[in-house]
Structures are given as structure tokens and as C-alpha cells.
Structure 1
Amino acid sequence: MTLIDLTAPAARNLHLGTLPVAIIGAGPIGLAAAAQLHERGIDFIVYEAGESIASSMAAWGHTRLFSPWKHLVDPAAGRLLLASGWTEPDESSLPTGSELIAHYLEPLAALDAIASRIRTGTTVTAVSREGMDRTRTVGRGSRAFILRLAGVDGEITDVRAAAVIDASGTYLNPNSLGSNGLDPLGFGGVADLVSHALPDVLGAERHRFARKHTAVVGAGHSAANTLINLAQLARDEPGTTVTWIIRNTAAVRVFGSADDELQARASIGASVSRLAESGAISQVDGFEIVGLERDGDGVDIVGNRRGGLEHVRADVIVNATGFRPNLDMLREIRLSLDEIVEAPAALAPLIDPNLHSCGTVSPHGVAELTQPERDFFIVGMKSYGRAPTFLLATGYEQVRSIADELAGNRVAARQVQLVLPVTGVCSTGGGGASSCC
């Protein structure tokens, strides 16, 4: 066990002292935070659990993003890249996750100013204050943060930081298949037959789904994307069948988008509707999963439906029920979170999924993201808690505002410097959709 004191040149804001800002996660928002801090002369360290940057995005890299390139490059990151001779992609095209990594995030992470500050293969397992658990108050704001790290070699290390920006995302923390928020009874015995959201059914994972019966659980655009790809696989591979399971009486978030002013997003709902009407996929609605039982090489999905128990037998299940933040690592940090969506309390009313889509959430920053724990911020997809449809452009504005706050420029920190277009941002091309970007 090791205690490391990471020192760096003094930042412009005196309260930061000689310690760096710790950024958790080297995805698009974490790397944008790094670029924003670098522009302001504030040192930082980025901790990434994966063996390479943007490892969560790479897992769904085959999926096409909602936003065109012009909304996917953080301004500070763009300035750094352009100064290095980088060529910006066509601003109107819609990249896949893999293309975003290859043409933007990897070049950004390779810049000297950023590369030397990234620590991959390093998981932040807990955050606290030096010498203080969450119950102690006196002098709390003047104490350094402590981050407990776990390396791939198993070594446990504590490091100190002046501030913490948690951009760790939610992709690795899916919601439960159970309608009550808990894993269904029997889940542990069939976990090997449950796939994460957005599997690459037409590519790397084709063998897992071809000529098999897949049950897709979920009512959002991630589920819709997978259903569309599975229907294509069924056309290519006879014997492939698909069942769509939703707990509500209708998939409002998908079918309800048919009149969406965002044409590409609306096309997803229309495509899934046609597949259901044609019988290419079977739709089972009002099905609340309560149990899972192994049935030979497959799984028997047990659910309450219309007052009685019903069964759906499948070879594999795709869990497309959404995501939730990992808050266990923050048990010693003082947080103010909305009791429903688990987002920062001041942000939650702006992102209520009952009222907003990604294009109607107002740009926001440090004022909405400030926590009772001084200089601790949750940003990016994790800041949305359990709410879906997060935009990268919104996350870039979040970290720009926080960087100004940490630099001591409170006026700039509270000025909105982002204008989101009303349409054309949350959409995707025919290739796919996810719950962010």
C-alpha cells in the first residue's frame, strides 16, 4: 500500500496549492476537462479504469452517434489539436463511437500536454478527504482529497488532489432487468446469457446472436437500435428470431418519437414500429420481469403480465434498460443528489426525462453542479444520474464552466457559452442510436 503526493506547478487559483485536479475517466468529457484545465494553467491527472482511453465508448464503438462532428469536439480540445496540425472532420457527418475515438480522442490524448497526465489501467475505488470521513466538518474545505486507486497489478494506492471532477460515466452500471430495480430472482445463475446494452450483433458479436432467439429488454433508443440490427441479422441468418420485452403498455420513448422534430431520431421509432407490425420482431408489452431460470442452453424469463405469470424462453437477453451512476465510490463525499434520478439536486429539474429530451435541456455549469463538498463535481453522463439522452456538447459546457471556477473566474464560470440547436443534435443515421452524444 502506497501513499503518493502528486505535486505540480502552482495553479492560478491559490486554493489549489501545488496539488493537481483529479479527473476520473478518460472519455470525451474527462479529456475535455483536461484540455480546459490545461488552457488555464491548472495541472491535472486523468485516471482511466480501462487499458486505453475511452474504453467504455470503445465497447459500443460500432454505434453511430446522435450528434454531427460540429457538436462533438470540445472547443479547448479543438484549439489544442488544431495547433498541432490536426485536420477537423467534416462537421456535418455523424461518426460512430470508434470513429470519434480514432479521429478525435486518440489524437487529443496523444498531445504532450495531455498524454503525460493520463494513467490508464487505474480504477478509482473511493474518494474522501484527507483525515476526514463525511461526518467531520471543521476545516473540511481546506483538506486535500484522497483518491484510492486500484491498478491492474492489484496494487492499492492513495493519491492526493486539490479538486475532483468525476467523469466516470454510467455505461458500466446498467439498470436491473427487474421492474422493481433489483436483479430478478435467479439472475446469478444465468448471468452468462445476459448481454450488455448495444452489443455488436452485426459484427464482433454476431456469433452470439445468429440463428438464436434474443429477447431485448428496454423501451429506449438503445433497445430500438439493437432491435433494428437484430432484424437485419435475421434477414441474413435464417433461424434468428427476436422478442422485444417492455414493462409498460407501450414503448413511448421509441414510438412516441415518430412526430419528433428530429427526423433521424424519429426514423428509429418508425423503423421499430414497422418491424413490430410486420412480425419481424415479436413485441411483449406490460411484462414485468420477476425471475430468470436456466432452461437447457437458454433462459426462461418469468414475468407478471395482466395479473398472471407468463414465460418467454430465449437463448440470450440484451439488457437495454438504461444505466445508473456508481455512487459507492463516493460514500465519504458529501453530495446533494435528487432522490429520484440521482443527479445533482439543482440539475435534476432541468433533465427530468418526463419533460425533456437531450435537445431541450438548457446548457448549464458550475452553478447546477456544485456539491456540498467544495471542489468536487460530477459531470458528463454520470451527472444525469438515471436520466437518458445526454449530449456531449452539454458535458463540454459543464467542464468549461468548472475549469473557469477552479481558475478563480467566477463570472465566466456562470456565463452560458453554449447554444444548442433545437433540432439535429440528438439524431442518428440509419446505423444506430445510443442514449448519449
Structure 2
Amino acid sequence: MSEQQLPVAVIGAGPIGLAAAAHLIERGIEPLVLEAGPTAATAVRDWSHVRLFSTWAEVVAPAAEKLLATTGWVRPDGATYPTGGDWAERYLQPLADVLGDQIRYGARVTGVSRTGRDRVVDTDREQQPFSVHVEYADGREERLLARAVIDASGTWSTPGPLGGDGLPALGEKAAADRISYRVPDLDNPAVRARYAGKSTAVVGSGASAFTALAALAALAKEAPGTRAVWILRRGISGATFGGGEADQLPARGALGLAAKAAVDDGYADAVTGFRTSAVEKSEDGQLILVGEDGRRLDPVDEIIGLTGLRPDLTFVDELRLALDERLQAPVALAPLIDPNVHSCGTVYPHGVNELSHPEQDVYLAGMKSYGRAPTFLAMTGYEQVRSIAAALAGDQAAAERVELALPETGVCGGAGLFDEPEQAEQDNAGGC
């Protein structure tokens, strides 16, 4: 089999990986999607209870919609807002079903390299197909050959630790059974029981932290004794809670206002300028956060760490990737997504030129391409894989052409708190 007859390996059957497969099929290229989880959209299902800021119109890839149309699938009302569960069940799983045996589940990629070449060897490197090592859920191992690799595995599996230096705080691993790195689903009875009547520290300052604080405040109104402590590495300023009522995205503004209300109404206490160095246990088994400055906070029962996500680069370590030293994003993309400068709405659409590496025909796409930046938009990822598929098909003009117009503002890194339809309908430009 010639290299051009080999499939393109797509790592991850999430929104961007599935969109990549749809675009490849549209271009007459065979995809092979490798998904570590048991179903499509495994990561999305983990936050199925959270509503997106994006409308349905913004989270369905055009090529995927064309593929689904052959089955009679009809996109949900484009002006409404799905939850993660809606997105998975009403779009991503049907798309995966169409792809059929072009997806392998329970297939965890453990390494990618060039056949017969580690990252040091130059000789005939680009003439060698990619070697993709896979471990299956049943314990089998396999080496697959691919003409190109699109790594759309995301960052969900690697949340940031509590430690203010980017490393796990001392004692963090030992207290793992009392620490969660996800927004809690308080409609789940078991999860609700974990936090009801308890004290919980929420570490983080983004939309996920806002969502957790607002959810715990709502729980406190029904379950006496429920208390939250909000831990911020920086101080509180006028921008801490977002734009509020002046926000161009009402749902995002409402989320910030709900978090502010949790503090103002006494359901959460804010601790600012606190960078965690250790997690200790009190005599009665509660957890004590210790700061780099020596401060020791009052004991809590639970900790929710929402300090961002980061890419797992271990299995692509034998490839020659050009990554920014700060964000761990492709070097040409990093200046465009630096969270110190940009929000989602100021990151313009991009494709192969910004996503290419010294290793030809390997791409990080979707959230993983953004490294540690939280500013990713789903429709930006769809544009990425459209461009990549065009380049792999040899259509460089289409690969370099921008086919996406982003709204003037976007929602950075997260999902919405709102669930009331009338409130959701107010927001007509969002992102995820």
C-alpha cells in the first residue's frame, strides 16, 4: 500500500476530531478516528449538565451537517443553546454513527512517530509513514500506519493542578479523594450529597469557577451549612466578574453576576492573592490550604480546582513539533491566542499556515492546538480542520482561504450557567 493510500489518523472522537473526519471524507481521504473512550464525545459527556454559550448554529460543522443530511438528520433550532449532553446525543453521536467503523473506540494512542525514525534521525524522514501505537481497552496493542496525523485529543484529561507554581501542591495527590477538577453536577444525588451542608473551596477565576460558585450558592439556599470559599490567585477588580449587564454576551454577563451575587449575598467568601503551596489535613480530617506566603485558610470539606487545562504532549514526543515555550501551542499560533492579549473574539480564523510544524503532515487541532490558552471557539476548530483537510488533499488555495467570519466578541473557555429559555434566547453570538 502506498503512503497516499494510507488513512489519516485522527486522534479523538470529540467535536473537532469528528469534524476533521467529515472534512476528510468530503475530500475523498479516508480517516481513521482513534478514541480512547467507549463512545464518541466522551469528554463532552463528562460535562453534559453544563449549557454552552454557543447556539446550535455555531457548534455544528458544515461538512458534518452535509454528511448527516444523507441520513435525514435535521439540525436543532440554530438559535437555541445545547447542553453538553444535548451536543453529544443530538449531534456528535449521530455523526459518529454515520462514520461507523472509521472510528475505533477504546483505542488509546500511546505514541506517534515516523516508521523506523525517532525524532533524531533525518534520513528519508518525510518519506516514511507515521507509526501510531495504540493500546485497546481489552489490553491488545497495535501499530497502525498513517499518511498524516491530526491530534484532536483536546485537553480535558489534563486539568491544571492547585499549586500556584503550575505543579501539584504538596499533599494534593494524597487528598485526591476530596478534590475535584470539574464543575459539579448538583442535580446528581450523589454529587449533591458530597457538597450539601459542607464547606468547599473553589480555586480558579474563569467561567468554570463562576459556574461552580453560583451552583454552590443555589445549593446553600436549600441545604443549610453549605459554604463556599473562592480562592483567587489575583485580587478582585472591576473586571473580575466580567462585563455584567454591559457584556455583549448576556449569558456570559449573567454568569459573572451570579458569581458576584454568591459573594455579595454571603454564600461565598473570597480570598485574594492566594497561591496554593500545600494541602494539609486537620485533626478532624478536613483540608487546609496553605499559601506560598504562609497563610493557612480555614479548614474545608472539599476542594474544586478549576485552574485551567493543559495539553498532554507525551505521546507526540517523538515528533518534531514547534511549540511556544509558554502556551505549548504552535509557535505561529501562540501570539494570536495569548490570553494576556486576546479574547475569543479577537482571535482571527486560522489554518495550516499557523498549525504547521517542522514535522510535515502532523497537526494539533482544536483545543489541543491552543495549548494552555482558554480562548478556544468550536467554530474556530472547525475552520482549522477544514483547512487541514484541504492541505492534505493538495488544495493549497482552499487551505489558505479563510471561510469563517467570527462574531466581534466571543466567549472564552467555558459554558453557560443559564437554563431559562427566555434568557438563552437573548444571546445570539457565543462560543465554546
Q: What's the TM-score once normalised by structure 1's chain length?
A: 0.92
Q: CA deviation at 1:266?
A: 1.6
Q: Aligned pair in 2 of structure 1 residues 429, 277: CA closer, same or farther (>3 Å)?
A: closer
Secondary structure at 1:313 match in 2 = coil
Q: Which moved more, 1:409-418 or 1:16-25?
A: 16-25
Number of aligned positions between the proteins:
419
Matched letter for residue 299 of structure 1: L
Q: CA deviation at 1:423?
A: 4.1
2:140 alignment counterpart: 155
Q: CA deviation at 1:150?
A: 1.1
CA-to-aligned-CA distance 1:77-102 (integer Å, 9 cap, x gap): 00111121011100010100000011
CA-to-aligned-CA distance 1:49-75 (integer Å, 9 cap, x gap): 111111111001100012101111000
What is the rounded CA distance, in whole Å, between the counterparts of 2:93 and 2:294 in structure 1?
A: 52
Q: CA deviation at 1:116?
A: 1.3
For 1:258-269, list aligned pairs within 5 A: 258=244, 259-269=246-256
Q: Aligned pair in 2 of structure 1 residues 345, 220: CA closer, same or farther (>3 Å)?
A: same
Q: Aligned pair in 2 of structure 1 residues 244, 262: CA closer, same or farther (>3 Å)?
A: same
Structure 1 vs Structure 2 CA RMSD = 1.9
What is the rounded CA distance, in whole Å, between the counterparts of 1:244 and 1:431 in structure 2?
A: 23
Q: CA deviation at 1:299?
A: 1.3
Structure 1 residue ranges without an equivalent (≥5): 1-6, 11-15
What is the rounded CA distance, in whole Å, between the counterparts of 1:44 and 1:417 in structure 2?
A: 22
CA-to-aligned-CA distance 1:389-425 (integer Å, 9 cap, x gap): 3111000000000000000000000000000112476
- Is 1:278 the counterpart of 2:231? The answer is no
- Is 1:199 the counterpart of 2:199? The answer is no
- Given that 1:65 and 1:428 are in contact with CA atoms closer than 8 Å, whether structure 2 keeps it comes out as yes
1:303 alignment counterpart: 291
- Is 1:416 the counterpart of 2:407? The answer is no
- Given that 1:381 and 1:436 are in contact with CA atoms closer than 8 Å, whether structure 2 keeps it comes out as no
- Given that 1:189 and 1:293 are in contact with CA atoms closer than 8 Å, whether structure 2 keeps it comes out as no
Matched letter for residue 322 of structure 1: G
CA-to-aligned-CA distance 1:344-403 (integer Å, 9 cap, x gap): 100011111111111221011111001111000000000110000311100000000000
CA-to-aligned-CA distance 1:237-263 (integer Å, 9 cap, x gap): 112111111111127764243343222
- Is 1:95 the counterpart of 2:82? The answer is yes
Structure 2 residue ranges without an equivalent (≥5): 425-429
What is the rounded CA distance, in whole Å, between the counterparts of 1:424 and 1:286 in structure 2?
A: 28
- Is 1:44 the counterpart of 2:31? The answer is yes
CA-to-aligned-CA distance 1:106-164 (integer Å, 9 cap, x gap): 111111xx111100111111111100010111211111111111111222221111100
Q: Which moved more, 1:401-410 or 1:284-293?
A: 284-293
Q: Aligned pair in 2 of structure 1 residues 425, 365: CA closer, same or farther (>3 Å)?
A: same
Q: Aligned pair in 2 of structure 1 residues 331, 253: CA closer, same or farther (>3 Å)?
A: farther
2:427 alignment counterpart: none
What is the rounded CA distance, in whole Å, between the counterparts of 1:228 and 1:429 in structure 2?
A: 8
Aligned match of 1:328 in 314, 336, 339? Answer: 314
What is the rounded CA distance, in whole Å, between the counterparts of 1:153 and 1:103 in structure 2?
A: 29
Q: CA deviation at 1:324?
A: 0.3
CA-to-aligned-CA distance 1:281-335 (integer Å, 9 cap, x gap): 111111111101123343111113xx44222311111110000000111110101
2:130 alignment counterpart: 145
What is the rounded CA distance, in whole Å, between the counterparts of 1:257 and 1:25 in structure 2?
A: 35
2:416 alignment counterpart: 428
What is the rounded CA distance, in whole Å, between the counterparts of 2:348 and 2:381 in structure 1?
A: 12
What is the rounded CA distance, in whole Å, between the counterparts of 2:322 and 2:36 in structure 1?
A: 25
- Given that 2:8 and 2:29 are in contact with CA atoms closer than 8 Å, whether structure 1 keeps it comes out as yes
Aligned match of 1:164 in 139, 145, 149? Answer: 149
What is the rounded CA distance, in whole Å, between the counterparts of 1:369 and 1:252 in structure 2?
A: 35
Matched letter for residue 48 of structure 1: E
Secondary structure at 2:382 match in 1 = helix
Secondary structure at 1:255 match in 2 = coil
1:229 alignment counterpart: 215
Secondary structure at 1:45 match in 2 = strand
Secondary structure at 1:125 match in 2 = strand
Matched letter for residue 208 of structure 1: R
Q: What's the TM-score once normalised by structure 2's chain length?
A: 0.93
- Is 1:250 the counterpart of 2:250? The answer is no
What is the rounded CA distance, in whole Å, between the counterparts of 1:217 and 1:332 in structure 2?
A: 35
What is the rounded CA distance, in whole Å, between the counterparts of 1:430 and 1:419 in structure 2?
A: 26
Q: CA deviation at 1:208?
A: 1.5
What is the rounded CA distance, in whole Å, between the counterparts of 1:249 and 1:299 in structure 2?
A: 23
Q: CA deviation at 1:340?
A: 0.8
What is the rounded CA distance, in whole Å, between the counterparts of 1:154 and 1:65 in structure 2?
A: 36
Q: Aligned pair in 2 of structure 1 residues 153, 217: CA closer, same or farther (>3 Å)?
A: same
Q: Aligned pair in 2 of structure 1 residues 251, 122: CA closer, same or farther (>3 Å)?
A: farther
1:290 alignment counterpart: 277
2:366 alignment counterpart: 380
- Is 1:25 the counterpart of 2:12? The answer is yes
Secondary structure at 1:273 match in 2 = helix
> Identity rate of aligned residues, in percent?
48
Q: Aligned pair in 2 of structure 1 residues 158, 64: CA closer, same or farther (>3 Å)?
A: same
Secondary structure at 1:312 match in 2 = coil
1:361 alignment counterpart: 347
